[in-house]
Amino acid sequence: MGQAIRLKLKRWPGNLLAIGLVALWLFPIFWAVLTSLKTRAQQDRLVPLFLFHPTLDNYNEIFTVSRYEVAIRNSLIISIASTFFVMVLAVCSGYVLGRVRLKHGRDIAMWILSLRMIPPVAVGVPFYLLFVRLGWIDKHLALIAVYTAVGVPFAVWLVQGFFIEIPRELDEAATLDGLTETETLWRVLIPVALPGISVAAIFTFIFTWNEYLLAYLLTTSRAKTVPLAVSENILEYHVEWGRIMASSMIVILPMLVIVFLLQRYIVRGLTLGAVK
Amino acid sequence: MAQADVRNDLETMVETHRKREVVRRRGPQLSWQIYLLLLPTILYLLIWTIWPLVYAVGVSLFRYNLMRPDLIKFVWLANYARAFNSSVFKGSLEVSATFTVAAVSSQFLLAFFLALVLDRTMRGIGLLRTLFIIPVFLSPTVVGLLWRNMYFADRGVVDYLFTRVGLPAVHWVGQASTSMAGVLIMDAWEWTPFVALVLLAGIQSVPPDIREAAELDGLNTFQYAWRILLPTLRPVILVVLLIRTIDTFKTFDSIWNLTRGGPGNSTYMLSIFATQTGLTGGEIGLATAMAVLMAVVSNIVGLVLVLYLGRREFSSNS
């Protein structure tokens, strides 16, 4: 685990450096939390305020004044559903592209990855035009379908990388035990690839949760997602910073928990898409 | 004893042969089922990505303003010509390119350093790394807004802290000369942790014998990084460079919320130009043409990087 060589620092200086750098890096988050606990008057000082009487007004207002819970509910529905569909497609195709010698497997894999290079604007306009005509604007299902399409390439690439990593001996052992290909997939390969699949799922979920442009184009009020609700606090002549920070901090907490529980896998997952 | 050995060898050979037979026999039988697994994905992508893309190219061939749908007119490649002749377009392309190159290169160097710093086994390093990667999981919209809040001239906390440590207050996003720097700082804050953790995983996967040999040879950290890590991590580095280059080029949400492309045109990315043309101007024909051009540029850059990587990265035949 990188123990032989590291920055030639003795233990404590090195540890302090790590802690210090991360603490410094997190200052903006710290600032966001502070701001979320300030009143408008406290935010508007010429000299930024670090010690003050905190208030939970902002957290209150986003639910009472702007019904943030609707956006949270929408985002949950859309993100969970999109992630689910993306993972189904990604596991199936990742398996095939990663373990089966397909004649054009390489080309197909590269084609799928190339889809990731498309800027959302390019598909946003056609979707908008099509959905207006079909009456699919502001429908959860429409956004789910779009997000699934956008999220598949990256997920396939990650999952495929994980499937490639699994040693062939596992396949052969399973075959010897009399398992069919399907059973092998289900009972042996998927459990082994589960870390990678979880990582792909997390990244997909977070991507769909944070996406702004397509959600902006394709929804108006009923299917509004969290990023849209947050940016609605940018009013004509002033910005409700307190509410922006409060709404952002709320959704960070569950994400933090998940990330912390799975951070080992996340780091592994990021590399296995690349390292052979 | 020799006879037993021979028989063992023979048995092993038979076993191995049998295994191979079994595997080979099962192979061809399942081929159509395998395609069945891949097909839904391909179909879905064809319908929901390729078709809209084709449609987009189609739209880009029209002069189509949403606010005057009656004036829609087929203009062949006029939108593309308009884009190429537009100084704003060329300017925004330059902004995007500059931003991408500057961001990716600076973030990579910073990430490498940070990866080495975080390559420790202290207690709570897992927590540190989790906290470190928070910016990656924030919505780019929120990141843009957060930094806009922090950069506020005079009242801005960034400038305030600068003055507290004796540095001059730079009105980062208040003037065109420093706005690119301001945007780069925000983007670095958001994405360096991602690159750093990928590099970290790569660094930690260096085989122990290599590490020990380097230690025995008395390499210091810099030499180790330069002569051993960089070559070993080449695949990882190239892949993360590829992802980050493509994504950085497409950046929109964060920069839009931070500067709206200003002051002036100093941070006016191509993505912002295209989106504004469509959203604010309603000129979706022109906007789509620009988006298509963006996709083409990304694909070219991506193709170059991938070919350089070697297609082995993407095949199951490796």
User: ipTM score here?
Assistant: 0.84
Instruction: Give the model's pLDDT for residue B196.
Output: 92
Mean per-residue pLDDT pooled into runs of 10, chain A (276 residues)? 48 84 92 86 77 84 85 92 95 85 81 86 88 89 94 90 78 76 73 82 90 90 88 82 88 79 67 49
pLDDT of res. B175: 83
- Is A6 in the B-facing interface, judged by CB distances under 8 Å? yes
Q: Which residue of chain A has the CA closest to B315?
A: A106
Domain ranges of chain A: 11-57, 59-272
pLDDT for A161: 80
- Is pLDDT at B265 greater than 60 in this prediction? yes
Instruction: Tell whether B42 is within 8 A of chain A (Cβ).
Output: yes
Among chain B residues, the shortest Cα distance to A253 is held by: B134
Q: Do A119 and B274 meet the contact criterion of CB atoms below 8 Å apart?
A: yes
CA distances from A125 to A64, B81, B288 (A): 34, 20, 7
Residue B179 contacts residue B267 (beta carbons within 8 Å): yes
> How confident is the model at residue B21, as a pLDDT?
45
What pLDDT does residue A176 have? 78
Q: Which CATH architecture has domain B82-314?
A: Orthogonal Bundle (1.10)
Q: B316 and A102 in contact by Cβ < 8 A?
A: yes
Q: Determine whether the interchain pair B34/A89 forms a contact, defined as Cβ–Cβ distance below 8 Å.
A: no
**Contact with chain B for residue A258, Cβ under 8 A:** no
B125 or B139, higher pLDDT: B139
Return the closest-CA partner of residue B137 out of A208, A242, A270, A25. A208
Check residue B169 and give its pLDDT: 74
Mean model confidence pLDDT for chain B: 81
Query: Mind listing the pLDDT tens digit for each residue in B178-204?
Result: 889 999 999 999 999 999 988 888 888
Task: Give the C-alpha distances (Å, rounded to integers) separating A130 from A122, A153, A213, B40, B110.
Answer: 13, 22, 16, 22, 44
Is the CB of A125 less than 8 angstroms away from the CB of B288?
A: yes
Quote the pLDDT of residue B313.
Answer: 47
* Residue B1 predicted with pLDDT over 80: no
Name every chain B residue with its beta carbon within 8 A of the beta carbon of A3: 121, 211
Residue at A53: amino acid letter: H
DSSP 8-state secondary structure symbol assigned to residue A115: G
CB contact under 8 A, B126 and A263: yes
Statement: A59-272 belongs to CATH 1.10.3720.10 = yes
B154, pLDDT greater than 90: no
Give me the amino acid identity at A172: E
Quick one: pLDDT at residue B20? 52
Name residue, tokens 């306009």: A125
Partner A contacted by B277 (CB < 8 A): no
What is chain A's alpha carbon radius of gyration, rounded to the nearest angstrom? 23
Which of the residue ranges A139-148, A169-178, B51-60, B306-315 would you say has the lowest mean pLDDT?
Answer: B306-315
d(CA A118, CA B302): 11
pLDDT score, position A117:
83
- Domain segments of chain B as ranges: 82-314
Out of A18, A92, A267, whose CB is closest to B40? A92
* Total CB pairs under 8 A between chain A and B: 320
What is the predicted pLDDT for the residue at B45?
92
| Identity of the residue in A115, A164, A172 whose CB atom sits nearest the CB atom of B45 | A115
| pLDDT of the residue at A232 | 86
Structure token pair of residue B121: 């086994």
* Distance between A78 CA and the closest CA of chain B, angstroms: 16
Q: Which of B35, B129, B139 sits opposite A227 (nearest CB)?
A: B139
* Average pLDDT score over residue span B116-135: 84
What is the average per-residue pLDDT within B94-113?
94
Confidence of residue B28 (pLDDT cuts 50, 70, 90): very low
Q: How far apart are CA A104 and CA B42, in angstroms?
A: 13
pLDDT at A44: 76
